[in-house]
Amino acid sequence: MNSGPIASLLAHGVGHSGVAQVLRTVRKHLGMDVAFIAHFREKDRVLEHVDSDGSAPIFEGQVIPLESGFCLKVVRGELPEFMPDTSLVPAAMALPETRAIPIGSHLGVPIELSNGEIYGTLCCFSRAPNLTLGERDLRLMRALGEVLASRIEEHVVAARARQRAADEIRQVLASGAPRMVYQPIYSLATDTVAGVEALSRFDVEPFRTPDLWFTAAHHVGLGLELELRAIENALGALERLPPELSLNVNCSPELIMSGRLESVLGSQDLSRIILEITEHATVSEYETVLASLVPFRSRGARLAIDDAGAGYASMRHILDLKADIIKLDMSLTRNIDTDPSRRALAKGLIAFAREIQGTITAEGVETAAELATLRAIGVDRVQGYFLSKPKSLDDVLASVGPPPSRRAAG
């Protein structure tokens, strides 16, 4: 037989999305009726990929007891890998499937991973004997089985890593994490604390920064659960904070669109809540996010676009989501007292905020000179390490008062 199509597939490798094409090519090349990949599990095998001439007695996704049929017996050596005519193999004829399907010829090889684990089998069969099959075909099947094993192993390793990551996130959630800290936000009009931003902290192993925990959670499909937990933990502060203080909580567009935010915000006084969406968040459906915000805004919630000035997306977020608050990114605040370009951009955003009846909060204030410049150009609110690091709610309540620069001046 001409081995051109198979050789080409082996030479170029087999991507996961190309498995169906590989099975079809192999089946037709060998002149067989059905080709499939069976994945062994603890007590059964699942047919992950099936290709046939259109009348296969098996189907993709079918779950079959592990002990039944040919696959496990081929791996154990109880049946030969190569059977051009099953009627000549007593062990095959003893199986009810041989006559019921029927299986007149069969080729099957193990798919073995690098650690010796048997993932399953690659098999072909025909209803009638196929005496044209030869040892060369078996060698090709074995070679293809090795190529498939290497590609499958990539997905197995990735799936197991994903499962470990998901287990880590579930353990974090079970522990009650994240712990919340609160960074005061000062009003420059009154020189008092006007609100706090709730920030997540993770006191669990493996030790990662909060952004990496949230990224990992979203990667394994648990991002919304972790976001909801953080918001729920943060909201406990409202009962203890003075009623004139607002509470900023971080919230992704996906959570807003999911409809699940209502479950934690339902009974809260939303006039004290500011939902922050970062400039870095991808918004694929602005109209949907905007519509999803309506019930919360009708009860007084406000929307802040965080990290404004850090990238190109912030202006579209501000415009299309009709932001109430624009938060200047720390990269814009840093050295604003000595950098005319930063001052010019900040002044432009401040003027824009005035036009849309919004307010400006500057993040990342680290020096008295930066604070003085921000005050001079008309920023409404400020936060940063110069004013106060994020701290426990008890420490926030004990230190509510004017920012350090004004306290020192007085």
Please, which pLDDT band fits residue 397 given cuts at 50, 70 and 90? Answer: very high
Given a cut of 80, whether residue 243 has pLDDT beyond it is yes
Which tens digit of pLDDT belongs to each residue from 260-298? 999 999 889 999 999 999 877 888 899 999 999 999 999
Contact criterion met (CB below 8 Å) for 47 and 35? no
Q: What token pair was written down for 128?
A: 């009638």
Which tens digit of pLDDT belongs to each residue from 62-81? 999 999 999 999 999 999 99
Strand 44-52 to 63-65 pairing: antiparallel
Query: Measured in whole angstroms, how far is the alpha carbon of residue 232 from the centre of its chain?
Result: 21
Backbone angles phi, psi at 192, to 5 degrees: -135, 165
Percent of the chain's residues with pLDDT above 70: 93
The per-residue pLDDT for 12 is: 44
- Angstrom distance (rounded) from CA 58 to CA 27: 15
pTM attached to this predicted model: 0.77
Contact criterion met (CB below 8 Å) for 270 and 238? no
CA torsion 91-93-99-100 (nearest 10°) is -30
What is the separation, in whole angstroms, between the first and last Cα of the chain? 95
149: Cβ–Cβ under 8 A, 6 or more apart, which residues? 111, 112, 113, 114, 119
Contact criterion met (CB below 8 Å) for 379 and 361? yes
The CA distances from residue 80 to 84, 206, 326, 380, in Å, are 10, 48, 71, 80
The per-residue pLDDT for 410 is: 40
Q: What token pair was written down for 218?
A: 């979203």
The per-residue pLDDT for 405 is: 54
The answer to which of 147-156, 205-214, 264-273, 400-409 has the lowest mean pLDDT is 400-409
Backbone angles phi, psi at 91, to 5 degrees: -65, -35
Please, which pLDDT band fits residue 20 given cuts at 50, 70 and 90? Answer: confident
Please, which pLDDT band fits residue 335 given cuts at 50, 70 and 90? Answer: very high
Mean pLDDT of the chain: 91
The CA distances from residue 320 to 241, 317, 324, 350, 375, in Å, are 32, 6, 12, 18, 28
Peptide bond before 84: cis, by omega within 30 degrees of 0? no
Using the 8-state DSSP alphabet, how is residue 195 labeled?
A: E
What are the chain's domains? 4-162 (3.30.450.40), 175-409 (3.20.20.450)
